[in-house]
Amino acid sequence: MVSSSKFWAPSAALLAAWLLNQLGSVGALENGVGRLPVLGYNTWNAFHCNIDEDLVFTQAQLMKQMGILDAGYTYVNIDDCYSEKNRSASGDIVEDKVRFKSGMKTLTDKIHALGFKTGIYSDSGWFTCAGFPGSFMNELRDAKTFQDWGFDYLKYDNCNIPFDDIIRQGIVGKYQRMADALSQLSKTTGKHPFIYSLCEWGWSQVWLWGATMGHSWRTTGDIAPRWESLTFIINFNSFITQATDFYGRNDLDMLQLGNGGLTFDEAKSHFTAWALMRSPLLIGTDFRKITPDILGILTNKEILAINQDPVVGKSISPFRWGINPDWTSNSTHPAQFWSGPTQNGTVFMLLNTLNEPATMFFNLTESPWIRAGRQYSVRDLWAHTDNGTAVRSFTAHDVPPHGVVALLLKDAGDEPDGLFPECAVWFQCVDRNGTHVGG
């Protein structure tokens, strides 16, 4: 969590060039866990510090009853504020004696019995963001406590940093301390390593170094249930999509669905962008208040299948910015035309960032994943309909304000003979005798 409302936007051209030079050094942490994005739940967005064992278990029960577990959301994660303000006499973190009176192990056992895994929270500083004990200089002790409590996942935050003459580390070393503790714990106990989620939010090069120690890394500050917050996050991440793959991914923060502030179309855009950019999907909703519309968004199995694709782990990326020239950083009008590979075809996301309906057109071969001279069957991933065949181009009519279109295109063979002009995109397109095609 972060209290600052100041945001930094990248210089697109410089970032793009630097990115291409740096990506060769990015190596995912492949330690046997976290190959795919985590799907689950987190208490913070809906409840902040107002949590107790009954509330957490009730949310897990509702997730199972509503089909959220069956849709693939397997983690129930507790965020900040679960502990006593002070450590025990022996130096251990202690769960709140009133709000978690039965003990964390009892709670995790009950949640595991429902079929879920469980996650916990700590901080790389002296204190968590809400002022509870952090893990600095207690990394191995706390990791052991979390394991003894029955947790499988650790979100690790960035507040209350020690003075320079104490920490004597950069941001990488600050997070490496817990990474080393988790690795040592796994070797000592023989249990699977934790899913380690870095919540750095400093807008530094976390997306470059995070893959060497964590399974996901936050790339911006905290999300808010406002369209402007979504577009800021989408814009920032549009320049670093290459950092996401199996075992490591850009974390766009929790899903703000059902918390008010977003229209239905904005909620669909939110979910589509997060899922197709292969971000972890952690729901931050009170399931006692969820509506059928929001439940339908969260359980869209065709969208979720792409997020959880076992063959292709890469994020979608922009192939055309649309309103702005390509590679333009604009926090209110990010890139509109996106695509990426999947095991079953090429997925497209068309994002209408305007405040009015829009017709959105693109030539198929603008996407690097489409072959010229071929036609493609079109599957609408929200309408769940097969919409015929696209030849050379596609037009989406009347996309709602702040709305989204999600398509899966599959190769359907050669395009029909005799099409004119000979090339859909005729720049530098020539006959074998050198005659230019088109205008």
- Examine the residue annotation and report whether 123 is marked as an active-site residue of this protein: no
Residue 271's alpha-carbon distances to 21, 241, 282, in angstroms, are 31, 17, 11
Of 157, 251, 253, 309, catalytic: 157
**317-320 and 337-342 beta bridge pairing:** antiparallel
Report the C-alpha gap between 331 and 433 in whole angstroms: 47
- Examine the residue annotation and report whether 164 is marked as an active-site residue of this protein: no
What radius of gyration, in Å, describes the C-alpha atoms of the chain?
Answer: 23
Residue 90's alpha-carbon distances to 87, 104, 106, 153, 227, in angstroms, are 8, 18, 22, 24, 47
Q: What is the dihedral of CA 196, 200, 201, 203, to 10 degrees?
A: -110
Of 80, 142, 222, 253, catalytic: 222
90: exposed, middle or buried (Cβ count in 10 Å: 0-12, 13-18, 19+): exposed
Residues acting as catalytic residues: 157, 222
